């Protein structure tokens, strides 16, 4: 039997879509604040600031400019400290967002190098919450013949939430995982918690996503039965 290998374009689409899991800028919950002092700290913080400014913009041209700057700062950070997990993840996040905004189809050849940055971040820090969430998103969103495996996604997402109690994206992804397994009550609880956190953190994108997911999940079965009486 011929072994099916993942196609770069198909995987790249999922890699960049998994970046939705990355925490976005808010005054109360910023990636910048997590960066510890070190040789690459200044460049990494600037990289995350650019990422957050790109996320806050509604204009694709401005987004591309911020992500490009963020990637440049992250490249510098990696050169300054190759063993910095934050530097590698900042590079993965900015670069992935740039590819996503510019168009994944024309940028598919960047996939191996992009994926390498996520792997390196997790190699250096197995407890990096955002990298774990991104990895879990890949396992959940990829089809099985391309390496997808919901059973591997779930523990990664659970761990990401445990490490970052304010994580919104990981909760939404785990809620989606539970919904696929018909664990609707657990999915509803996670989506509702994610919605509350998204409102508190001012994350409009996540507010819309949580609201849509809650509508898809529907009310508790007991509530539906009560309405039917």
Q: Is the dihedral of CA 156, 130, 92, 141 positive or negative?
A: positive
CA within 13 Å, CB half, 80 = 16
Q: What are the tens digits of pLDDT across the range 78-100?
A: 999 999 999 999 999 999 889 88
Domain spans of the chain, in order of start:
8-125
Q: pTM value?
A: 0.78
CA-to-CA distance for 87 and 210, rounded, in angstroms? 29
Q: What are the tens digits of pLDDT across the range 18-61?
A: 554 554 434 346 889 889 999 999 999 999 999 999 988 889 99
3-state SS track over 135-159 = HHHHHHHCCHHHCCCHHHHHHHHHH
Q: Which residue stretches of the chain have pLDDT < 50?
A: 1-6, 8-10, 16, 20, 23-28, 224-229
């Amino acid at each position: 039997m011929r072994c099916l290998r993942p196609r770069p374009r198909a995987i790249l689409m999922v890699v960049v879509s998994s970046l939705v899991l990355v925490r976005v800028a808010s005054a109360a919950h910023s990636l910048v604040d997590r960066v510890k002092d070190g040789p690459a700290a200044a460049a990494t913080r600037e990289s995350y600031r650019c990422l957050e400014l790109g996320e806050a913009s509604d204009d694709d041209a401005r987004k591309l400019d911020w992500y490009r700057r963020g990637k440049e700062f992250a490249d510098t950070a990696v050169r300054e400290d190759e063993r910095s997990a934050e530097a590698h993840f900042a590079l993965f996040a900015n670069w992935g967002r740039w590819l996503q905004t510019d168009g994944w189809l024309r940028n598919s050849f960047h996939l191996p190098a992009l994926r390498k940055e996520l792997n390196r971040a997790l190699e250096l820090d197995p407890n990096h919450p955002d990298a774990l969430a991104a990895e879990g998103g890949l396992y959940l969103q990829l089809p099985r013949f391309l390496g997808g495996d919901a059973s591997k996604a779930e523990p990664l997402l659970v761990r990401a939430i445990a490490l970052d109690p304010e994580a919104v994206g990981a909760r939404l992804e785990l809620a989606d995982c539970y919904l696929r397994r018909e664990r609707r009550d657990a999915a509803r609880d996670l989506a509702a918690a994610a919605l509350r956190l998204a409102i508190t953190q001012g994350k409009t994108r996540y507010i819309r996503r949580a609201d849509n997911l809650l509508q898809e999940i529907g009310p508790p079965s007991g509530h539906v039965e009560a309405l039917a009486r």
